Structure 1
Amino acid sequence: MTCRPRSAPSPFAEDVLGATDVYAGVGHGNVRSAALLARLGLTPVARFESYTRFHLPR
């Protein structure tokens, strides 16, 4: 998987779809993915039975 630095959700998501925020879900125990989201600036905002939701405001 390739990740780019966070400057916008993506040009398509922002310009075409009007996206303003990014949300991601990571299953509990998936420490590497949670660490990647943290490096990209996302913060955990909700914990559910099987996953944690992360958020990155625009």
Structure 2
Amino acid sequence: MGVIMHYPTTPEKQEELSKKVAAVHAQTVMEQIKAMPCPVEQKAELIEAIKRIHQQRDGA
């Protein structure tokens, strides 16, 4: 099976693709957290920890 990839060629299209990939990744993470067999409070703490790590990494 062969797969052909067509990457965006302009900076604008590359930015758009990056945003879409990030949105899908975030949605997947949220779905995985929701499916975890732990209390809602622990899920909220996990989400907050992820946000803190992301903000630290980005220098926000």
TM-score (norm: length of structure 1): 0.25
* Higher helix proportion: 2
Largest Rg, 1 or 2? 2
TM-score (norm: length of structure 2): 0.25
